[in-house]
Amino acid sequence: MPGSGKFRVGAMGTVSGVLRCAVMAATLLLTACVTTAVGPEHPGTKVTFKSPDPEKWTGTRVFGEKRSIFRCKPLACPENSIVSIRTAPSPTRSPDSVALQKFAQEDAERQMAQTEQASAEAVGRLRDLTLVSSRVLKMKDFPTVHWEYRATGTNDKPIYIVRDMVFAGNTLIDVISTSLGVEVARRNSSDFVDVMEIEDFAPPAVTTIRQ
């Protein structure tokens, strides 16, 4: 629809978890570090993300945040490109479709500052950031808010930003793709979402016993 316009476990368990995250960051696998398993007996959502092509992308994990930044290597993409992925707790497991449509349109302006900050890390300072379109769709079978922005870079070239906010069970996945080409930005976002692994197990339904 078109629109306008960041437990308690034993000491060994804690150290082990930290080491696993450190090893993944060092090797640039950059998968989401999850210390608890999910399954039918352990409801929850586990998200694992990585580069769709290690020969094409290099990545770093942002220290202290559940966010990773992937940069396309020189000459590996048609245009200079970057993809930022952040995970956070979702406000609800099952977003209402009408509420999500309103959020996609009404919250787009308020989301601009975060979008601009993530994109500026790729191409430098931006100006005249403008919302081009806003709609709700599905990615990986989960409801997703899709925003597209256009801005002007320091060299007066247009910069395109595609942001996909995926509501995957208990987890909100925020993918921000920036490029000098709009089709490239769209394709990069889609490529990263396609290789994500999402394991989601809903809590058992509550049954009411009538006396």
Strand order in the sheet with 158-168: 57-61, 67-72, 81-89, 171-179, 158-168, 142-152, 127-139
Q: Output the pLDDT for position 106.
A: 86
Q: What's the CA gap between 36 and 44, in Å, rounded?
A: 9
Please give the tally of structural domains in the chain.
1
Q: Output the pLDDT for position 153.
A: 81
In a domain, 193, yes or no: yes
In a domain, 206, yes or no: no
> CA 19 → CA 23, 24, 26, 35, 190, distances in Å?
6, 9, 10, 11, 31
In a domain, 10, yes or no: no
In a 10 Å sphere around its CB, with 0-12 CB exposed, 13-18 middle and 19+ buried, how is residue 184 labelled?
buried
Q: What's the CA gap between 55 and 197, in Å, rounded?
A: 20
In a domain, 53, yes or no: yes
Residue 141 sits in which domain range?
A: 37-201
Looking from the CA of 148 toward its CB, the CA atoms found within 13 Å total 19
> CA 176 → CA 13, 36, 92, 142, 187, distances in Å?
33, 27, 21, 17, 12
Q: What's the CA gap between 192 and 204, in Å, rounded?
A: 31
In a domain, 3, yes or no: no
More confident residue, 114 or 207: 114
pTM above 0.85, yes or no: no
Q: What's the CA gap between 141 and 123, in Å, rounded?
A: 32
Looking from the CA of 33 toward its CB, the CA atoms found within 13 Å total 22
pLDDT tens for each residue of 36-80: 576 666 778 889 989 999 999 999 888 777 889 999 999 999 988
Tell me what percent of the residues of the chain surpass a pLDDT of 90: 47
* Segments of the chain assigned E as strands: 44-48, 57-61, 67-72, 81-89, 127-139, 142-152, 158-168, 171-179, 197-201
CATH code for the domain of 59: 3.40.1000.10
